[in-house]
A and B are shown apart, each in its own frame.
Chain A
Amino acid sequence: MTVTFALGAFVLSVAMAGISFFTTRHFLVSDREHTAVHEAFLNATYVSQHVAAGTTVLQTLATVTPHAPSLLEERGTAWYSGSNRITQDSIPTSLRSMVITHGTAASQTYVSGDGHVSIAVGWPVKSVHGAYFEIFDIEDLAHTLRVLELALFGAGAVTTVLGAVLGRWASGRSLRPLAGVSRAAVAVAGGELGTRLVSTAGDPDLAGLTSSFNRMVDQLQERIEREARFTSDVSHELRSPLTTLGASLEVLEAQSGSLSPSGRRALELLSADVRRFQRMVGDLLEISRSDSGSAEVSLEEVDPGELVRRAVAAAHRSLPAGTPPPPVEVDPRVRGTHLWVDKRRFERVISNLLENASLYGGGATAVRVSPGDDARRCVRVSVEDAGPGLPPAERTRVFERFYRGHAAFRRGAGTGTGLGLALVAEHVRLHGGRVWAEEADGGGARFTVELPGRAATVLDDEVPEDEPPGCGVAP
């Protein structure tokens, strides 16, 4: 758009400058030519009469030429010059032959020997059987034209630049509404379903686009919310019976000693699956809140190293007994960087990753806290296992809900909820971070969570405030 405008302005200014230059030049030159021809005619007539009356040619010539040097040719051989500045050679040959041979008056513009632009005019003079020539120096005119040329060139350049600027402004102005639509579409695609376009008065085309876009997002939002509400309602309704089931099972478990071995085994199966069912319902409820955008995130400022150590310790307690706790390695460069996290969600992220490693990778071998490699002071937390690793094709898909990859048939795989990694992705997304899976150095899987960090805040001691530190709702 900018280039088009600049090009347009350039072509237009070249055309305009060209036309004005050539018109002006033509006008000025022909005017001067006209004058010159006329003056030369008067002088030629004067010379002709005087020579006819007996005055010598040179005397006659000396009395004319108030403006221009003149020259008389007599009978094709003798030349009389009224000025020592010109000789017969100063007259262009073509003009000379035209006037002398054909006997017609003629004029010619040419560049004279001294580099000046001049007009030579020739008139046949019958009385001397020759011709009268006069040379008019129009260097002043040429100079004016050169100045004009320069001025027009400058104006053309300015117009081109102005055209480019105008083009940029106009394209910005006319495309701005479309840029808004594009931004809104990106926001909606990114999950911000509350995004709407502000209707602008004036442009009917745009108003139509705005209202259809908003209607589309309305419908999309309604559908997504309905779905999320349904999941939420179902999970919610399941909680009451699950509470009863859980509490009753605990009563039975407390008295399992009085059951037969097969009864005890049945009770074990029952309680294991009720727990899994409870977790699944909890996870579904959590994910549906995230989907409907009603998830509340309460952020607190924490030290990443301590947070991870605590989370690993807490998560480890809920893993099957006998699993050794993975070592936590904290890169010293992370020191001084603080994270704003929802601790409950972060704990779930770590425990889900550890559980995932335990179910599919033979248990986590290391948990590393390291700085991200960008300027946002990101902090990375990686959980590694020594399992078979993930085939590249599954590295993104593992974060899908209820995804069952090649590891689905591994021992213990049936005890997961199928939502663990999907929830990890959701929690991380709510924190403005990202998570990915890759191959660990030893060939196992490595899951890395990257959260945006910041420098430790300066402590302002005496700030009394009603709201607690760092209790807020994330975007």
Chain B
Amino acid sequence: MGSRILVVEDDERIRSSMRLALEGEGYEIDEASSGEEALEQFSGHPADVALIDLMLPGMDGFECCRALRRQSAVPIIIVTARADTHDVVAGLEAGADDYVTKPFVTKELGARIRALLRRVRPVDDEPTVLAFGDLELVPEEGVLRRSDGTEVHCTKTEFRLLCELASSPNKVLSREQLLDRVWGYDYFGDGRLVDVHIRRLRTKVEPDPALPRHILTVRGMGYKLVP
């Protein structure tokens, strides 16, 4: 059985054409025409990936993202009209993992979905436990724990990003490298994806996110993790 995708889009024609195109790629589709409907659908029948248009009547895409994120770590792709606006950053900050712009090519969208789904599954050659500060990462279980045993909740993308950084401690990883390894983008992927996710991660793993001690920015180069 293929992965299940929740398509949240108010334009019925777009929704139908997306269903047709994505079904052609082998996915199962749930449709929702509003944010409220999407949340209802999701709680009854959780999808593997959610595709949310930012411009929705009633509850907008950002709110829908946040609400969905509160109840699940499901990978979210936002659909936006413009790539060069604050919408993208706001969407990512609302909890989205990636974005596509309208009008998108289904093949491109399919590639993004596959990248998100692939990332959920652990990679074999990773060490069993990665530790830094008072945190330990167990890639195989997909779990981030504090030394006192409490679990830190993070999305699959955040987890994957943290694994990449933690598996090469003290080594600077460029945004391009991280985009490639975590999102499957090439050199021209959007660096803001990395930046926003780093910001989100810091609020979860840093004692003081404004003065990070573990996930450091290396100006002009990228990011590195200091245990």
Task: Name A residues whose Cβ lies closer than 8 Å to a Cβ of B.
Answer: 236, 239-248, 250-251, 254, 278, 281, 285, 289, 294-298, 300-301, 310-311, 314, 338, 343-344, 347, 456-457, 459-471
Contact yes or no, B217 A468, CB < 8 A: yes
By a CB distance below 8 angstroms, the chain B residues around A465 are 217, 219
The docked-state distance in angstroms from the alpha carbon of A291 to that of B24 is 40
Contact of A240 among B85, B102, B212 (CB under 8 A): B102
Contact yes or no, B11 A314, CB < 8 A: no
Contact yes or no, B102 A243, CB < 8 A: yes
Contact of B192 among A254, A460, A471 (CB under 8 A): A471
Contact yes or no, A314 B195, CB < 8 A: no
The docked-state distance in angstroms from the alpha carbon of A139 to that of B186 is 100
The docked-state distance in angstroms from the alpha carbon of A166 to that of B46 is 82
The docked-state distance in angstroms from the alpha carbon of A236 to that of B55 is 12
Task: Decide: A239 near B212, CB < 8 A? Known: A314-B186, A344-B188, A459-B219.
Answer: no
By beta carbon, the residue of chain B nearest A462 is B216
Contact yes or no, A248 B102, CB < 8 A: no
Contact of A464 among B17, B211, B221 (CB under 8 A): B211
B82 within 8 A of A: yes
Of B58-66, B103-111, B137-145, which binds chain A? Answer: B103-111
By beta carbon, the residue of chain B nearest A309 is B187
B198 within 8 A of A: yes
Contact of A461 among B17, B83, B218 (CB under 8 A): B218
By beta carbon, the residue of chain B nearest A317 is B186
By a CB distance below 8 angstroms, the chain A residues around B190 are 344
B13 within 8 A of A: yes
Contact yes or no, A344 B102, CB < 8 A: no
Q: Lowest 7 A-B CB distances belong to which pairs?
A: A247-B17, A468-B195, A243-B103, A310-B187, A247-B21, A242-B103, A244-B13
Contact yes or no, B17 A251, CB < 8 A: yes
By beta carbon, the residue of chain A nearest B104 is A243
Contact yes or no, A248 B21, CB < 8 A: yes
Q: Pick 26 A–B contacts, CB within 8 A, sort by A.
A: A239-B102, A239-B103, A241-B13, A242-B102, A244-B14, A246-B103, A246-B105, A251-B24, A254-B24, A281-B103, A311-B188, A314-B188, A338-B220, A343-B187, A344-B190, A457-B219, A461-B216, A463-B216, A464-B216, A465-B219, A466-B199, A468-B192, A469-B218, A469-B220, A469-B221, A469-B222
Contact yes or no, A236 B220, CB < 8 A: no
Interface string of B88-118 (1 = CB under 8 A from A): 0000000000000011111100000000000
By beta carbon, the residue of chain A nearest B106 is A250
Interface string of B17-36 (1 = CB under 8 A from A): 11011001000000000000
The docked-state distance in angstroms from the alpha carbon of A274 to that of B222 is 39
The docked-state distance in angstroms from the alpha carbon of A457 to that of B221 is 10
Task: Decide: A250 near B103, CB < 8 A? Known: A464-B212, A466-B210.
Answer: no
Contact yes or no, A344 B83, CB < 8 A: yes
By a CB distance below 8 angstroms, the chain B residues around A456 are 220
Contact yes or no, B14 A240, CB < 8 A: yes
Least Cβ–Cβ distance between A393 and chain B, in angstroms: 34
Contact yes or no, A243 B84, CB < 8 A: no
Contact yes or no, A243 B14, CB < 8 A: yes
B86 within 8 A of A: yes
The docked-state distance in angstroms from the alpha carbon of A311 to that of B82 is 21
Contact yes or no, A459 B218, CB < 8 A: yes
B207 within 8 A of A: no
Contact of B14 among A247, A294, A347 (CB under 8 A): A247
By a CB distance below 8 angstroms, the chain A residues around B188 are 310-311, 314, 343-344, 347
Contact yes or no, A298 B24, CB < 8 A: no
The docked-state distance in angstroms from the alpha carbon of A278 to that of B106 is 14
By a CB distance below 8 angstroms, the chain B residues around A289 are 82, 84
Task: Decide: A285 near B105, CB < 8 A? Known: A248-B21, A314-B187.
Answer: no
Contact of A471 among B18, B21, B103, B195 (CB under 8 A): B195
Task: Decide: A298 near B104, CB < 8 A? Known: A250-B21, A465-B217, A466-B210.
Answer: no
The docked-state distance in angstroms from the alpha carbon of A281 to that of B82 is 12
Contact of A278 among B83, B103, B191, B194 (CB under 8 A): B103
B81 within 8 A of A: yes
Contact yes or no, B217 A469, CB < 8 A: yes
The docked-state distance in angstroms from the alpha carbon of A471 to that of B89 is 12
By a CB distance below 8 angstroms, the chain A residues around B186 are 310, 314
Contact of A469 among B11, B210, B213, B219 (CB under 8 A): B219
By a CB distance below 8 angstroms, the chain A residues around B84 are 289, 295-298, 344
Q: A314-B187, A463-B216 are in contact. List 18 more A-B contacts (CB 8 A).
A: A240-B13, A240-B102, A243-B14, A244-B14, A247-B14, A247-B21, A248-B17, A251-B20, A251-B24, A289-B82, A300-B175, A457-B220, A459-B219, A459-B221, A462-B216, A468-B217, A469-B220, A469-B221
The docked-state distance in angstroms from the alpha carbon of A251 to that of B110 is 13
Least Cβ–Cβ distance between B224 and chain A, in angstroms: 9
Contact of A246 among B104, B198, B221 (CB under 8 A): B104
By beta carbon, the residue of chain B nearest A295 is B84
By a CB distance below 8 angstroms, the chain B residues around A245 are 17, 103
Interface string of B177-195 (1 = CB under 8 A from A): 0000000001110111011
The docked-state distance in angstroms from the alpha carbon of A277 to that of B107 is 18
Least Cβ–Cβ distance between B104 and chain A, in angstroms: 7
By a CB distance below 8 angstroms, the chain A residues around B85 are 294, 296
